[in-house]
């Protein structure tokens, strides 16, 4: 994930006699390529040919390494835009349901009981319920 500085603000705080610096960060949205398209032999061959054509358009010999790399990177990106395309983000499913809510509530009750009594039996009961709660939440997130 790349992060860029979007703003740098200096303000003078006269009561303290110094400058305060505030920087806010802006994340660039990362786009994923639809690489499932490359499973097809013909699409993969077309993509490879497109990259080759893009790179050969401009002579990179005699240029600096940075310029050469920038040209190659841009060629790969342009070819990917033409032949592969972007992956569409799927909507996330709601995983937190009534069953999860009940387990979390039971876990909280067991914890409060253990805190009040400070007995080992209550602690073991709380840990057992906590493990079950974690398992249920992991399972519901996977589904």
Whether 122 has a pLDDT exceeding 60, the answer reads yes
Tens digits of residue pLDDT in 65-106 = 998 899 999 999 999 998 888 888 777 789 999 999 999 999
For 1-32, the DSSP string reads --EEEEEEEEEEETTTTEEEEEEEEEEPPP--
Dihedral angle sign, alpha carbons of residues 36, 37, 38, 41 = positive
Q: Is the overall model pTM greater than 0.75, yes or no?
A: no
Dihedral angle sign, alpha carbons of residues 56, 58, 62, 67 = negative
Point out the least confidently predicted range of 2-6, 12-16, 138-142: 2-6
Q: What average pLDDT does the chain have?
A: 84
| DSSP element (H, E) containing 58 | none
Do the Cβ atoms of 38 and 46 come closer than 8 Å? no
The residue extents of the domains of the chain are 35-83, 91-129
């Amino acid at each position: 994930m790349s992060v860029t500085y979007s703003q740098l603000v200096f303000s003078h705080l006269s009561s303290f006699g110094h400058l305060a610096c505030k920087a806010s960060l802006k994340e660039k949205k990362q786009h994923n390529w639809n690489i499932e398209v490359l499973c097809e032999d013909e699409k993969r061959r077309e993509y490879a040919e497109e990259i080759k054509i893009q790179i050969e358009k401009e002579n990179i010999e005699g240029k600096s390494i940075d310029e050469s790399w920038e040209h190659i990177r841009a060629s790969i990106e342009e070819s990917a835009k033409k032949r592969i395309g972007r992956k569409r983000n799927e909507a996330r499913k709601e995983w937190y349901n009534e069953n999860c809510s009940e387990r979390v509530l039971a876990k909280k009750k067991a914890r409060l009981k253990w805190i009040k009594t400070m007995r080992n039996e209550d602690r073991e009961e709380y840990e057992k319920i906590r493990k079950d709660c974690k398992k249920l939440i992991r399972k519901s997130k996977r589904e």
